[in-house]
């Protein structure tokens, strides 16, 4: 298979699954590809060039580990034209005045969830114009939320710690933004939550605490645990807030989520597989 720096990781994995271990061997951050859920979030959105930046390695390193698997790298010397080609037409045709930038890096740095403010910003954007979110990682769950609202999305990698994600606002097709499947998500009082928790013995209850992790650490940790959790066990999560992104990601994955607001800045979630 012939590849370029703009080939998406999902295409490479589809061609040869051995590429997962090959790419993951280059950097710790790329080991996320070994987790099926995290791989689904990451692989279809990230190109070879973007994965290299995320891992702090060179494109040549990616080529080196993929070449033994039969991948043939084609290099385009005109990098500027190639970069423009990678951007969608709707983005390259926009004027600067049509793009509203919102930098959420400072909010993330102090542990605040920028989702509500992002939603407010997007609501104020006119049809046909774009909101650009600047942050420290590819916001795949946010992309999925906006795609459900019929927005067009594109992420540009500026550096290993800076990503610009563009959302072109279009007329809705009837989908409701950020509305999880209510039949699978329950906000419960302490008594009901305790009863549901008591259905699992200590051996069958996996407990984790993600309150001290920086974003997107909580979501990655939870997804990693769920990916390897047996059907007879349940995951008890100690969190600082209701994880909207996580709820949307698990919407159609066959999980049932019980939520209990234990105290201010302390939320407990019991996540179990629907049998």
pLDDT in tens, 108-141: 777 777 888 898 899 899 999 999 999 887 777 6
Band (268; pLDDT cuts 50, 70, 90): very high
Determine the Cα angle at 29 with ends 24 and 229, to 5°: 80
Nearest to 108 by CA among 154, 142, 68, 74: 142
pLDDT given for residue 180 in this prediction: 41
Nearest to 137 by CA among 65, 208, 219: 219
The gap from C-alpha 4 to its chain's centroid, in whole angstroms, comes to 24
Strand extents, DSSP E, the chain: 2-3, 72-73, 99-103, 130-135, 152-159, 162-168, 185-187, 205-209, 234-239, 255-263, 266-273
pLDDT digits (tens, 9 = 90+) for 239-258: 998 888 788 778 778 899 99
pLDDT given for residue 160 in this prediction: 67
Round to whole Å and give the CA distance between 177 and 119: 9
Q: Indicate the helix (H) or strand (E) that contains 150.
A: none
User: Does residue 213 register a pLDDT over 70?
Assistant: yes
Torsion sign over Cα 118, 119, 122, 124: negative
CATH architecture of 182-273: 2-Layer Sandwich (3.30)
pLDDT given for residue 60 in this prediction: 92
β-sheet bridge partners, residue 163: 135, 157
Mean pLDDT within 264-273: 92
In the chain, CATH 3.30.110 covers 87-168, 182-273
User: Does residue 77 register a pLDDT over 70?
Assistant: no
Q: Indicate the helix (H) or strand (E) that contains 83.
A: helix 79-86
Hunting for tokens 């606002």 — which residue is that?
169
Kindly state the DSSP code that residue 25 receives in the 8-state scheme.
T
Nearest to 168 by CA among 157, 155, 179: 155
| More confidently predicted of 179 and 72 | 72
User: Does residue 53 register a pLDDT over 90?
Assistant: no
pLDDT digits (tens, 9 = 90+) for 139-163: 776 887 788 788 999 988 887 678 8
Round to whole Å and give the CA distance between 149 and 41: 18
Q: How many CB atoms lie within 10 A of CB 96?
A: 6
What mean pLDDT, rounded, does the chain reach? 85
Which class does domain 2-78 fall in?
Answer: mainly alpha
In the chain, CATH 1.10.3910.10 covers 2-78
Kindly state the DSSP code that residue 139 receives in the 8-state scheme.
-
Which class does domain 87-168 fall in?
Answer: alpha beta
β-sheet bridge partners, residue 153: 167
Mean pLDDT within 36-54: 79
**Are the beta carbons of 139 and 107 closer than 8 angstroms?**
no
């Amino acid at each position: 298979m012939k590849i370029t720096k703009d080939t998406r990781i999902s295409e490479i994995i589809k061609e040869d699954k051995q590429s997962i271990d090959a790419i993951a061997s280059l950097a710790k951050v790329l080991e996320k590809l070994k987790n099926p859920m995290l791989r689904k979030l990451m692989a279809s959105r990230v190109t070879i060039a973007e994965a290299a930046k995320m891992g702090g390695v060179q494109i040549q390193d990616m080529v080196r580990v993929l070449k033994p698997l039969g991948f043939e790298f084609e290099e385009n010397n005109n990098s500027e034209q190639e970069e423009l080609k990678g951007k969608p037409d709707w983005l390259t045709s926009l004027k600067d005045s049509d793009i509203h930038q919102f930098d959420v890096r400072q909010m993330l740095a102090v542990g605040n969830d920028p989702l509500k403010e992002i939603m407010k910003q997007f609501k104020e954007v006119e049809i046909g114009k774009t909101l650009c979110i600047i942050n420290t990682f590819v916001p795949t769950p946010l992309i999925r939320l906006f795609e459900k609202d019929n927005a067009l999305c594109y992420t540009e990698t500026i550096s290993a710690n800076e990503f610009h994600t563009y959302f072109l606002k279009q007329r809705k097709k009837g989908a409701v933004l950020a509305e999880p499947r209510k039949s699978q998500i329950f906000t419960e009082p302490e008594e009901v939550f305790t009863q549901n928790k008591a259905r699992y013995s200590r051996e069958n209850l996996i407990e984790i605490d993600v309150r001290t992790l920086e974003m997107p650490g909580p979501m990655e940790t939870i997804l990693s645990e769920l990916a390897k959790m047996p059907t007879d066990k349940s995951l008890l999560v100690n969190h600082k807030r209701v994880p909207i992104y996580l709820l949307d990601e698990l919407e159609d994955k066959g999980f049932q989520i019980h939520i209990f607001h234990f105290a201010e800045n302390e939320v407990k979630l019991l996540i179990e597989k629907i049998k």
